[in-house]
Amino acid sequence: MTETPSNETFPDRSAGGEKAALRFALEAAQMLRDDKCEDIILLDVRVLSQVTDYIVIGTGTSQRQMASALDHIEDLGTEQGFTRHGQDRDERSLWLLADFVDVVVHLFEPNARAHYDLEMLWGDAPRLDWESQRTHTPGSAEPTA
């Protein structure tokens, strides 16, 4: 007999807590936009995954741009106390991934994104409206408008 998933989230894995993970995920999505990535979505997978809380997915326009955007996300993670625990870059840089445990960031070139279709894989996950969320100014402790 299989159990129906409850609406409870899984235990938090990071030292920063749930609010810190959400703030990092929101700012990662905004940073991808600032780095000219396209079609950025932020999925809340806390109820669906024991592995991560948030998944950020974006589409890049070139290998160089995608690598640079991922480097900026890593710097943001370091600033906010999120260590990158894993990174994967395929041979042709069609899919780049950075794993910060509570937040996982995926960058794809357009055809690879359509092929792997993570949005469909995580189709039951709520999409967060990251564009209307407040972000913090680098170096400040709290979000600002």
Give per-residue pLDDT as tens, 58-100.
Answer: 999 998 999 999 999 999 999 999 988 866 665 677 899 999 9
Please determine, for residue 145, whether its predicted confidence score (pLDDT) is greater than 50. Answer: no
pLDDT in tens, 61-72: 998 999 999 999
Give the integer Cα–Cα distance in Å for 98 and 85. Answer: 8
Question: Is the per-residue pLDDT at 138 higher than 50?
Answer: no
The predicted model scores a pTM of 0.80
Assign 3-class secondary structure to the chain: CCCCCCCCCCCCCCCCHHHHHHHHHHHHHHHHHHCCCEEEEEEECCCCCCCCCEEEEEECCCHHHHHHHHHHHHHHHHHHCCCCCEEEECCCCCEEEEECCCEEEEEECHHHHHHHCHHHHCCCCCEECHHHCCEECCCCCCEEC
Task: Tell me if 99 is assigned to some domain.
Answer: yes
Does some domain include residue 86?
yes
Q: What is the pLDDT of residues 23-56, one digit of tens each?
A: 999 999 999 999 999 999 999 999 999 889 999 9
Q: Categorize the per-residue pLDDT at 139 as very low, low, confident or very high, splitting at 50, 70 and 90.
A: very low
CB half-sphere exposure, 52, CA atoms < 13 A: 25
* 48 assigned to some structural domain: yes
| pLDDT surpasses 60 at 137 | no
Question: CATH number, domain at 111?
Answer: 3.30.460.10
How many structural domains compose the chain?
Answer: 1
What domain range is 112 assigned to?
17-131
